[in-house]
Amino acid sequence: MSGLFLTLEGIDGAGKSSHIDALEVLFKASGRTVTRTREPGGTPLAETLRGLILSQPMDALTESLLVFAARRDHVVQVIVPALARGDVVLCDRFTDATFAYQGAGRGFDAGVLSTLERWVQAGQGADADALLQPHITLWFDLNPEVAAERLAGARLPDRFEAQPVEFFRRVAAGYAARAADPRFARIDADLPRDQVWHQVEAVLRQRGHLA
């Protein structure tokens, strides 16, 4: 069986993490082995970098280099081996987040991000031209004002969550621009949790990722 690389994306507070447990249960019930992971993070080194990225002041180039450094370790150590085994890889954020947050949010050069993406996600040997990309990206689309209300009081904000709503409007626009790619499935996240889940399950069945 071939591996499935599924990513979850959206602005902070859009509700994507709330559905990862259920996704894991669903795929396991269909007989699949699941590797559950997140970005930035997913390896000891990448989790160390995550701690710095979410807490330390830095400019947009440093931030971009650190997220891609964390990603390289994660891709090599976790994602590629899991896909080679045939696992379903459930990854909370991947490179779309970099284009949305560092690109659209911070205003950092998308051409430089694309170059880093090619270096970090290039295949090996005969596959050198193939770029590792998710098979499907569940994009939890939620108005930034609603997301901010959901996050208020839920937890102490990190360096991104502490950004003003204008930042998240730019990030949301960045995701919307990337959603033209057919691997994106838009999930209307401005609905009660059970209805959000219903959309997630339906899209996976429609696209043939679940029996």
Ligand X SMILES: Nc1ncnc2c1ncn2[C@@H]1O[C@H](COP(=O)(O)OP(=O)(O)OP(=O)(O)O)[C@@H](O)[C@H]1O
Ligand Y SMILES: Cc1cn([C@H]2C[C@H](O)[C@@H](COP(=O)(O)O)O2)c(=O)[nH]c1=O
Q: Are 134 and 6 in contact (CB under 8 A)?
A: yes
Strand partners, 191: none
Q: Which H helix or E strand runs over 110?
A: helix 110-121
**For ligand Y, what does the binding mask look like between residues 131 and 160, x meaning CB under 6 A?**
-----------------------------x
Size (the chain), residues: 211
Which residues bind to ligand X, rule: CB under 6 A? 10, 12-18, 150-151, 154, 192-193, 196
CB of 57 to ligand X, least distance (A): 19
38 binds ligand Y (CB under 6 A): yes
Tokens found for residue 153 = 């009081």
Q: Which does 130 bind (CB under 5 to 8 A by kind): ligand Y, ligand X, none?
A: none
Q: Which of residues 75-104 bind ligand Y (CB under 6 A)?
A: 92-93, 97-98, 101-102
CB of 204 to ligand Y, least distance (A): 21
The nearer residue to ligand Y, 160 or 183, going by C-beta atoms, is: 160
The nearer residue to ligand Y, 173 or 210, going by C-beta atoms, is: 173
Q: Is 16 annotated as a binding residue?
A: yes
CB of 51 to ligand X, least distance (A): 15
Residues contacting 17, CB < 8 A, separation 6+:
8, 92
Alpha helix segments (H runs only) across 7-109: 20-29, 44-53, 60-74, 80-85, 95-98
Q: What are the distances in angstroms from CA 115 to CA 57, 84, 112, 156, 208? A: 24, 25, 5, 34, 32
Q: Is 14 annotated as a binding residue?
A: yes
Q: Which does 97 bind (CB under 5 to 8 A by kind): ligand Y, ligand X, none?
A: ligand Y
Q: Are 46 and 73 in contact (CB under 8 A)?
A: yes
Can you say which residues are annotated as belonging to the binding site for ATP?
A: 10-17
Enumerate binding residues for ligand Y (CB under 6 A): 12, 38-40, 67, 92-93, 97-98, 101-102, 160
